[in-house]
Each structure stands twice: as C-alpha cells, then as structure tokens.
C-alpha cells in the first residue's frame, strides 16, 4: 500500500513506527501498528527515527491509553473523539465498548486508514482538517460524557487555533474531558533540530510551561492532572538501558516538563 504524505501529515508515520518497534520488543503491545508498517509501502529509514524517540512515543501512547481505559471503564456510554488520529488503532487496541468513537484526520490520512481498518456502527471516521470546524456539525451527541484525545496534535497548531477549537468543542458538547500531550516552550524552540521533523518539514508552533496557562484560553476549563513520561510505573516497563535514562531525567524539571501528558476538564 503506497502512501504519499507531506509535512504535518507525514509526521504520523513517526509514532506509528515507534509503537510498532516497541511492540516488537514487548515494551508496548500494539499488533495493529506492527501490521500497519508491514503493509505500508514507505521508506521508514528516511525519517531517521531515533531509538529514544521511539521509546518516548510508545510511552506517551501508553499513558494516554491508560487514562482512556479508566475513563471509558467508568463511562461506557461515552462519546470518544480522537483528533489527529493518524494511523493509530487506539479504539481497536483498547478493545472497550463506547457509545461511539470518532477518528478524525486529514482526508488523505483517512483514505489510507480506511484500507487498514473498517468503520463499524460505533466506530466512524471524519475526514477533515481539525481547524476546519465545519466537521463538528456532523457529530451527533450521545451519552452524557465526552472524552477528547489529541495525541501529537496541539504542538502543530497555533495558540489561537487551540483556543478556537476548545471553544467550539465547548459550544458543541457543553462539557468534556480532554487529554493531550504538550511540549514545553524550550522544547518547541529546540524542535527545529529534531532529525525526523527536519525531514518532514513539519513546524512545531505551540508549547506551554504551566498547564494553568491554558485555563485562560476559554471559560470553565480546568487543569486536572499532568502525567509524566518519567513516572515510575511507566519507566518500569522499559528495557534497563532506557529505565536508567528516564529515571535520571525525572530528577530534572526541564527534562521532566519537556514533553508530558495533560488532562483538562471543561464544564458548563
């Protein structure tokens, strides 16, 4: 299956490849990612995806998976909206029943994804740029709880685009929980030197040092918690050489805050 993607769209290959490689090592189990990279006709070597990056992206996915499992476990009748889903198979990987799960990404990405995974009655695709907010009108509200996942997305949006998106989602759902990963502002500045991002031409635009800053973006949004890639229970899953690296990083605030997962709640 040959694929042609550019800039931000091409970056979706990076986490897919990272999860597949970590799955092969037994660090993060994702047979869907393993199958996908085997099916796609793509030269993965040209992205120069470092081992450390593969580990970090698998850890990020694992953290978000764990939170999503807990949320869905408590709210099985919920609506899940996965923004910038890429070729991730999170819905299938979690294997948990929801009222409906939407995966959203660019039309070019969804066209590829449809060849990998079929839609069902409660698993649907939305073909759109996340910033073209017309897609929101097509969502039917079901259940009482909404979980929004934005993994590997917000760093490619501007602050104003994020504010506009969060407000539009509030107008649609009234209340929701959102989990996303964020770089620190220092990480954003240094991202231009990342070999994989340099190869794709993708531009990192947004980062945040204190999640409380996001509480000023729209009314009624509150920071619930921050989850770190250096958390002990995450590190323990890694091969020994990476365990030491991430344990040491956890002692330094700048390293700990460089890339983490943030959970926020929007209420009426």
Confidence of residue 244 (pLDDT cuts 50, 70, 90): confident
The residue to which tokens 């980062």 are assigned:
207
Instruction: Catalogue the E-assigned strands of 62-175.
Output: 79-83, 100-105, 123-127, 146-150
Q: Is residue 68 domain-resident?
A: yes
Q: Is residue 211 domain-resident?
A: yes
Q: Is residue 150 domain-resident?
A: yes
Confidence of residue 42 (pLDDT cuts 50, 70, 90): confident
More confident residue, 11 or 78: 78
pLDDT digits (tens, 9 = 90+) for 182-239: 999 999 888 665 555 556 556 789 999 999 999 999 999 999 999 998 888 878 878 7
R_g (Cα) of the chain, nearest Å: 18
Q: Decide if pLDDT at 102 tops 80.
A: yes
CA–CA distance from 118 to each of 8, 83, 139, 153 (Å)?
24, 18, 19, 23
pLDDT score for 251: 73
The domain containing residue 227 runs over which residues? 62-192+205-266
| Arithmetic mean of pLDDT over the chain | 88
Q: Is residue 44 domain-resident?
A: no
H runs (alpha helix) in the chain: 7-10, 13-24, 31-39, 51-74, 90-94, 107-116, 159-173, 185-190, 195-200, 232-235, 240-249, 253-256
Residue pair 170/176 in contact (Cβ under 8 Å)? The answer is yes
pLDDT score for 57: 87
More confident residue, 60 or 244: 60
Q: Is residue 232 domain-resident?
A: yes
Crossing angle between the packed helical segments 13-24 and 51-74, to the nearest 10 degrees: 90
| Mean pLDDT, rounded, for 35-53 | 82
Q: Is residue 162 domain-resident?
A: yes
Looking at the DSSP bridge assignments, the partners of residue 125 are 103
Q: Decide if pLDDT at 150 tops 70.
A: yes
| Mean pLDDT, rounded, for 161-190 | 95
Residue pair 102/126 in contact (Cβ under 8 Å)? The answer is yes
pLDDT score for 9: 60
| Mean pLDDT, rounded, for 41-51 | 78
Q: Decide if pLDDT at 262 tops 60.
A: yes
Number of structural domains (the chain) is: 1
Q: Is residue 7 domain-resident?
A: no
88-97, 101-110, 148-157, 182-191: the lowest-pLDDT one: 182-191
CATH of the domain at 162: 3.40.50.150
pLDDT score for 99: 93
More confident residue, 144 or 108: 108
Q: Is residue 34 domain-resident?
A: no
Confidence of residue 33 (pLDDT cuts 50, 70, 90): very high
More confident residue, 101 or 143: 101
Q: What share of the chain is helix, strand, coil (3-state, %, to 5)?
A: 50, 20, 35
In this prediction the pTM is: 0.91
CA–CA distance from 113 to each of 42, 87, 152, 168, 259 (Å)?
15, 6, 17, 26, 27
Confidence of residue 43 (pLDDT cuts 50, 70, 90): confident
């Amino acid at each position: 299956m040959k694929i042609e993607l550019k800039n931000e769209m091409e970056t979706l290959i990076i986490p897919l490849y990272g999860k597949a490689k970590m799955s092969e090592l037994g660090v993060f189990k994702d047979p869907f990612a393993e199958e996908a990279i085997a099916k796609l006709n793509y030269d993965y070597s040209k992205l120069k995806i470092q081992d450390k990056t593969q580990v970090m992206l698998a850890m990020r996915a694992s953290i978000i998976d764990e939170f999503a499992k807990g949320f869905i476990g408590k709210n099985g009748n919920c609506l899940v909206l996965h923004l910038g889903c890429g070729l991730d198979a999170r819905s299938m990987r979690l294997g948990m029943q929801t009222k409906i799960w939407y995966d959203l990404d660019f039309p070019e990405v969804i066209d590829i994804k449809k060849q990998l995974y079929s839609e069902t009655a409660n698993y649907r695709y939305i073909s759109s740029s996340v910033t073209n907010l017309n897609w929101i009108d097509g969502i039917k509200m079901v259940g009482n709880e909404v979980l929004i996942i934005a993994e590997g997305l917000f760093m490619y949006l501007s602050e104003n685009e994020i504010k506009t998106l969060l407000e539009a989602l509030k107008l649609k759902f009234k209340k929701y929980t959102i989990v996303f990963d964020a770089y620190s502002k220092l990480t954003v500045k240094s991202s231009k030197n990342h070999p994989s991002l340099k190869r794709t031409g993708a531009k990192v635009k947004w980062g945040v040092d204190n999640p409380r800053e996001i509480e000023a973006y729209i009314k009624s949004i509150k920071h619930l918690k921050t989850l770190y890639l250096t958390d002990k229970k995450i590190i323990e899953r890694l091969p020994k050489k990476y365990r030491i690296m991430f344990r040491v990083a956890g002692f330094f605030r700048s390293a700990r805050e460089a890339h983490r997962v943030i959970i926020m709640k929007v209420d009426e």
